[in-house]
Amino acid sequence: MRLGLAGTGRIGTAHAETLKGFEEVESVVVADVDPARAAAAAAKLGVETSSLDELFTAGLDGLVVTAATDAHPGLLIAAVDAGLPVFCEKPVAADIPGTLAVIDRISASDVPVQIGFQRRFDAGYAAARAAVGSGELGWLHTLRATTFDPAPPPAEYVAHSGGLFRDCGVHDFDIVRWVSGREVEEVYAIGANRGEAFFAEAGDVDTAAATLTLDDGTLATVSLTRYNGAGYDVRLDVLGSVSGVVVGLDDRAPLRSVEPGVAPLPGPAYPGFMERFRPAYTTELKAFLDVVARRAPSPCGAADALEAFYIAEACEVSRRERRPVRLAEVRR
Ligand SMILES: NC(=O)c1ccc[n+]([C@@H]2O[C@H](COP(=O)([O-])OP(=O)(O)OC[C@H]3O[C@@H](n4cnc5c(N)ncnc54)[C@H](O)[C@@H]3O)[C@@H](O)[C@H]2O)c1
């Protein structure tokens, strides 16, 4: 299998290295809008490089898109038009109209598209979904999702991120849907700014909480911050009438019990998403090989990404207008 990769930044370089390590992948060709970056990544990883234009005539079997978000729509559409199965990091586009425009262009085609919600490939989240599906938890009364970054990204990133709900919470929104098997009907979200001023200057918040009401009446909370100095903390409590499970409560969770006789977790805490989700990224890209080879349908399509984006949008409206927002209000 010969795969292309567009965008050799942080996650692109990591994905290219993972792809190169798969037995089934014979060659990887990387490209970037900044050719020097692509050349540096290619030299470091020992893979081929090409210009962005030539990537589409490089004899590829599939394309991985890890470019900056505003390049996703163009690359996704170009790949589908060229008949190339495509994996694209989340999000599909920077906003809902852009996402709908991409879906409109690609839905007429039978070329498969996979969007990068890697939590679906994490062993813990998969076990939680299986526990819900088996009925062993009883009926769910509460889901509690947490995504806490240890330190804020640069001000420049925040200004173009789309805000905490779209940039960060979108992973929690996707996984609440996937684990529960339910849709979100209504949200009520709030935010706070106790950190650096550039969040408020960008119209964003550094900490947020959202209550989601699912279509069977289950309540979910999503809690987000950019300032969790103890470490990267991503968890999901799935609590039912019979039993409950917790995702992300392992030796490296950045938690410290103050109860007498409770031993501290050995750590070290995860410093960021790359360390926490490395196995999930590998499993996710392995699944993409099955998509490329047409052995399996896409495990996470653009319609799933759109649904998570609608929830983020509803939270953003709710936070700004300080009121509950039904999903029907933002769906188009
Ligand atoms: N799933 C996840 O956990 C996860 C984590 C991090 C980032 N992401 C997503 O991955 C994408 C990249 O994030 P990053 O942190 O690696 O960013 P980054 O800034 O480190 O890298 C982006 C790269 O894209 C290149 N680029 C920009 N426009 C391009 C174009 N038209 N064609 C080709 N290359 C282009 C840039 O030169 C840069 O090298 C973002 O969309 C982000 O939302 C997802």
User: pLDDT tens digit string along 60-108?
Assistant: 999 999 999 999 999 999 999 999 999 999 999 999 999 999 999 999 8
Whole-number pLDDT of residue 30: 98
Ligand 1 and 129: CB distance under 6 A = no
* Conformation bin of residue 248: beta by default, left when phi > 0, alpha when psi is -120 to 50: left
Report CA(33)–ligand 1 centroid distance (Å). 11
User: pLDDT tens digit string along 298-308?
Assistant: 999 999 999 99
Report CA(66)–ligand 1 centroid distance (Å). 5
Ligand 1 and 68: CB distance under 6 A = yes
Ligand 1 and 52: CB distance under 6 A = yes
Mean pLDDT (the chain, rounded): 97
Distances in whole angstroms, Cα of residue 127 to Cα of each of 32, 209, 249: 37, 25, 13
Ligand 1 and 276: CB distance under 6 A = no
Average pLDDT score over residue span 7-36: 97
> Domains in the chain and their CATH numbers?
2-111 (3.40.50.720), 120-272+308-329 (3.30.360.10)
Report CA(129)–ligand 1 centroid distance (Å). 29
Ligand 1 and 11: CB distance under 6 A = yes
User: pLDDT tens digit string along 191-207?
Assistant: 999 999 999 999 999 99
Pocket test for ligand 1, best of 5, 32, 118, 172 (most atoms within 8 A of CB): 32
Query: Do 152 and 158 form a contact (C-beta atoms < 8 A)?
Result: yes
User: pLDDT tens digit string along 231-275?
Assistant: 999 999 999 999 999 999 999 999 999 999 999 999 999 999 999
Query: Do 291 and 297 form a contact (C-beta atoms < 8 A)?
Result: yes
**What is the Cα–Cα distance from 267 to 285, expressed in whole angstroms?**
27
The C-alpha angle 299, 41, 66, rounded to 5 degrees, equals 30
Report CA(11)–ligand 1 centroid distance (Å). 7
Average pLDDT score over residue span 273-296: 97
Q: The pTM is what?
A: 0.96
Average pLDDT score over residue span 13-25: 98
Whole-number pLDDT of residue 178: 98
Ligand 1 and 69: CB distance under 6 A = yes
Report CA(140)–ligand 1 centroid distance (Å). 36
Average pLDDT score over residue span 315-326: 98
